[in-house]
Amino acid sequence: MSSYILVMSTNQNWHGTTIVLIRKGNQTIVAGDGQVSLGNTVLKSKAKKVRKIEKRNVIAGFAGSTADALTLFERLEAKLEKHAGNLTRAAVELAKDWRTDKYLRRLEALMAVADKEKSFIISGTGDVLEPEDGIIGIGSGGNYALAAAKVLMDSEMSAEEIAKKSLKVASEICVFTNGNVTTEKV
């Protein structure tokens, strides 16, 4: 837990995070920036917003409140265990719980998750969306990173290079995104 910061406040809004997920060739990468902001204040610049579930070879990135995202990550891990590593089933079950559970539906986050074969965005509204082109961008700079990644997919760059370059572009546009990048791959 030392690489995460948890702040409880009802007076200010959480902003920030850019997560990009890239599938290219046989590579799947999730990358995230390191900035944690509360209102207009940067609280931390090197947070880790991407994680890997080693046992199931699943990677995830999350945007939103840190405590909420960690709760959802733990729930995803439990769903993967329950469904023998089937990411599709685990994602759908997590989304159902997130939408219908009295406690979970108050959580404010988005998740980008992937294994060797599938990628999904999971939201609290019950959505489990699989991208058509193997690219996901979420968070305040998500659309900037997504646009950059779409352009770079036709290049000779690897998935990891595209993810890092996309986050660099987002960090130059979105004030809630920085250039401290963490990546995970499957």
| Tokens found for residue 4 | 């995460």
| Partners of 22 in beta bridges | 29, 135
Answer yes or no: 17 catalytic: yes
Catalytic residue from among 17, 18, 177, 182: 17
Distances (CA, A) of 97 to 72, 86, 93, 175: 10, 17, 6, 33
In angstroms, rounded to a whole number, what is the distance separating the alpha carbons of residues 38 and 45?
Answer: 12
End-to-end CA distance of the chain: 23
Which residues have a Cβ under 8 Å from the Cβ of 67 and sit 6 or more positions away? 6, 8
Cβ burial of 20 (10 Å; 0-12, 13-18, 19+) is buried
Please list, in sequence order, all residues whose beta carbon lies within 8 angstroms of the beta carbon of residue 128, skipping any fewer than 6 positions away.
88, 91, 92, 95, 120, 121, 122
List residues with catalytic annotation: 17
